[in-house]
Every structure is written in C-alpha cells, then in structure tokens.
Structure 1
Amino acid sequence: MLKHSAKPWSDAAGTVHSLQTDTAKAKSALATAHAGAQAGTAGLSSMAALTSVLTSWEKRLTAVHTECGALEPALRKTAWAQGEVDAGVKSALAQYSGKR
C-alpha cells in the first residue's frame, strides 16, 4: 500500500522558514560586527579584504534567504496537496469497497 504523508513536506517547510530567519539574523549580526570597523583604518589593505569578505557573505546570505522565501510556500502547498490526494484516494477506494 502506498501511503503519502504531508509531514515530511511540512517539516521541510518549517526548516526552510527557520533557515530564512537565521540567515536574516546572521546578516544583521555581520553588519553590526563590522559597524565602525573602517574608522581609523583608511588605507589598510586588511580593511579592503575585510570589506570584500563581508560583501561576499552578505550576497550569499541574501541568496539563501531569497531562495528559502520562494521554497517555503511551495513546500507548504505540496504538503497540503499530499493530504488532499490521500483524502481523494481514500474516498474513491471507499466507493469500491462499500465503506465510507
């Protein structure tokens, strides 16, 4: 017997939501940690490298955040659809077995 479950899809959606929230927090923490770092360091090559790394991580975190934002609704929709399929199959089979 093939049995579908919405739980894995709902769990995945919850994980994606958490990841989206965590990436936003991480991006904010990076910005806070780098605030004021440039004061008194003009011309230092290490500051240019630090800025480059910060920019790179901000882009990565933004990409993950954006992808999670797009993925979560799709996962939730799939979880809902799986539940609907199960209900429809159960109802259709009940017609043949005489049970409702």
Structure 2
Amino acid sequence: MYAESWQRLLDQAGPGGGRSGMSLASAGPAGGGGSGELKHRAKPWSDAAGTAHSLQTDTATAKAKLTSAHTGAEAGTAGLASMGALTSVRASWEKRLTAVHAECGALEPVLRETAWAQGEVDAGVKSALAQYSGKGR
C-alpha cells in the first residue's frame, strides 16, 4: 500500500503503523468519524471575504449619510455648545467608519487569496502523497 521507504518507517513505529489513536475530530474513525481525510473548503474564506466587502460598502454608505445629514447644520448655530459636541461626535464616527472601511478593504483580498491558496496547497499535498502511496505512478 505504501512505498517501501514509508512502509519501513511505519513498521519501525510499531503496531498500528505509527498511529497513536490521537487524531483530529474530522480526520477519521479515531476522532469521531470522517473519511480519514482532512478537507479544505473555500466557502468559509469566501464568505468572510464577501462579508468584508459588504461591511466596506455599508460603512461608505453610512459615512455618506452622516455627512449628508449634517450638511447645513452649522448655519445659524455659531456659539452653541451643542453644535460643538455634535461636530466632535460626527468627527469621531467618521474616523471610526473610515478605519472599518479601510480594514475591510485590506482584509477582503487576503481572505480571497487564502481560499485560493489553501485549495492549491491541498491539491499539491494530495498529489505528493499519491506518489508515496503508489497511486501517482
């Protein structure tokens, strides 16, 4: 089943082919059922990227609405303490929305790349392991 060099190593490991009975929950019968293969799914990473994109869009919309709602508010209110407080709160929210917008903009492509890269790694590992099990020959 295994290439000769791998089989020697497994034989040296002792009974059970070097398996200690410890495994990941999703990695096979010892861990609670599964096919014995670790699987990667791009969907969680892609979903997270989609959420980052939505947050980026929503924060831009919220900032535009905030700006629009305050247009002209300062006219005729010079000297009122409440206007100073309102201006301070607005600036604080604009700063927060800008930071979230920027963070989501930076995060989205990284999440998409992670989904792609892990899929490529999975394919490469599967191909490499197939060579050692005799399936790739």
**TM norm. shorter chain > 0.5:** yes
Structure 1 counterpart of 2:66, from 6, 30, 52: 30
Deviation by residue 1:47-88 (Cα, 9 ceiling, x = unmatched): 001000000000000000111111111111101101101211
Q: Which ranges of structure 2 fall in alignment gaps of 5 or more residues?
A: 1-36
Q: Is 2:92 aligned against 1:56?
A: yes
Q: Which has the higher contact order (CA 8 A, sep 6+)?
A: 1
Alignment partner, residue 8 of structure 2: none
Alignment partner, residue 57 of structure 2: 21
State the superposition RMSD in angstroms: 1.4
Alignment partner, residue 115 of structure 2: 79
Alignment partner, residue 11 of structure 1: 47
SS in 1 for 2:72: coil
Q: Percent identity?
A: 79
Alignment partner, residue 128 of structure 2: 92
Q: Which amino acid aligns with 1:67?
A: E
SS in 1 for 2:96: helix
Aligned equivalents of 1:87, 1:36: Cα separation in 2:
59
Aligned equivalents of 1:97, 1:82: Cα separation in 2:
24
Superposed displacement of residue 36, structure 1: 0.5
Normalised TM-score (structure 1):
0.92
Structure 1 window deviating more from structure 2 (13-22 vs 80-89): it is 80-89
Structure 1 window deviating more from structure 2 (79-88 vs 25-34): it is 79-88
Aligned equivalents of 1:15, 1:26: Cα separation in 2:
16
Q: Name the larger-Rg structure.
A: 2
